Structure 1
Amino acid sequence: MKTELDFAPLYRSSIGFDRIFNLLDNAQRLQAVDLWPPYDIVKLGDDQYAITMAVAGFSRSDLDVVQERNVLIIKGGRAEKEKGEYLHRGIGAQTFERRFELADHVHVETASLSDGLLRIVLKQDIPEAMKPRRIEIGKSSQIPDTQLQIEAERQVA
């Protein structure tokens, strides 16, 4: 039994979360789960991730890795090179397209292909302006004395 969630009440009471609601809504609508090619996602640190995808039989020229805004798209396709009639075809050679939604400020750092494994390292670079910063609490003598000045003007009047 599949249940779809209605995000309409959240749209009415929240501002700036449209992208998150759209992601959740799109995730609900995925009908077929494509299991090929298999992949792993590993968190390497607080701000670094790696996607490792098994692409045996594909060369660098057969693969395409593109980042468009907050989406990483990995496409693969091979031209038919083998001549002859297959009696059994167990090595996956079909074209594929895999999409990964990325958080804000996440970008591809490196991509490499070795031993049939495509490895993409991602890094999240949060701008300095968005990072938390510590606010130094000053002494009361450093605070402007505007309150006393206003009180003095009231007494004169």
Structure 2
Amino acid sequence: MRTAFDFSPLYRSSIGFDRVFDLLENASRTPSVDNWPPYDIARTGEDAYRITMAVAGFGQEELSIVHEPNMLVVSGERTTEDNGDYLHRGIAGRPFERRFELADHVKVTGAGLVNGLLTINLQRQIPEEMKPRKIEIGSSSGKAGSRIEAGTAKAVGKQIADKQAA
């Protein structure tokens, strides 16, 4: 059973969240996808993540990792065909393509293949101009001056906490 959600009331009270609503709409439209190859997603730090995929039977040259804007595409296709006389074939070797939606400013920092596990490391790297900054309010003496100071998110958060505690 599929339920359609109407996000139009949220459009009236939000600015700049169009991509989030598009992701939600696309997720509700997407039919159930193949669950192969299995994978794990782990948070390894405040802004660091790791994707681990079980790709038994695939060599390094048979796997492809492509980082597109806000999308990571991992695909694999076996180039060699083993035509043995199998009594049971349980190791899947079919081609696959797995897509991961990425948040803004998430970059791939490395990938490795060890013991049939493909590991992809990701890091969110927010540009300095996108980090929070403190904006001072000028006096009302006829001259509306404002000064912007660059600061880190922790410094701004501490200032807000100090004001709330006072």
* Class of the TM-score when normalised by the shorter of the 2 chains: 0.7 to 0.9
In the aligned structure 1, how far is the partner of 2:2 from the partner of 2:142? 63
Counterpart of 1:51 in structure 2 is 51
Alignment of 1:87-102 (within 5 A): 87-102=87-102
Tell me how large the CA RMSD over aligned residues is. Answer: 2.1
Supply the AA of the counterpart residue of 1:82: D
1:13 shift after superposition: 4.1
Counterpart of 2:104 in structure 1 is 104
Supply the AA of the counterpart residue of 2:88: H
Q: Secondary structure at the match of 1:72?
A: strand
In the aligned structure 2, how far is the partner of 1:136 from the partner of 1:54? 52
Counterpart of 2:40 in structure 1 is 40
Counterpart of 2:71 in structure 1 is 71
Question: Bigger shift: 85-94 or 106-115?
Answer: 85-94
In the aligned structure 1, how far is the partner of 2:7 from the partner of 2:37? 32
Q: Secondary structure at the match of 2:31?
A: coil
Q: Secondary structure at the match of 2:26?
A: helix
Specify whether residues 54 and 28 from structure 1 end up closer, same or farther in structure 2 by C-alpha distance, changes over 3 A only. same
1:11 shift after superposition: 3.0
Which of the pair is proportionally richer in strand?
2
Q: Which has the higher contact order (CA 8 A, sep 6+)?
A: 1
Identical amino acids, percent of aligned pairs: 58
In the aligned structure 1, how far is the partner of 2:139 from the partner of 2:32? 62
Counterpart of 1:15 in structure 2 is 15
Specify whether residues 34 and 143 from structure 1 end up closer, same or farther in structure 2 by C-alpha distance, changes over 3 A only. same
In the aligned structure 1, how far is the partner of 2:63 from the partner of 2:30? 24
The number of residue pairs the alignment matches comes to 143
Structure ID, larger Rg:
1
Deviations 1:77-120 (A, max 9, x none): 10242123332110010110000000000010001000000000
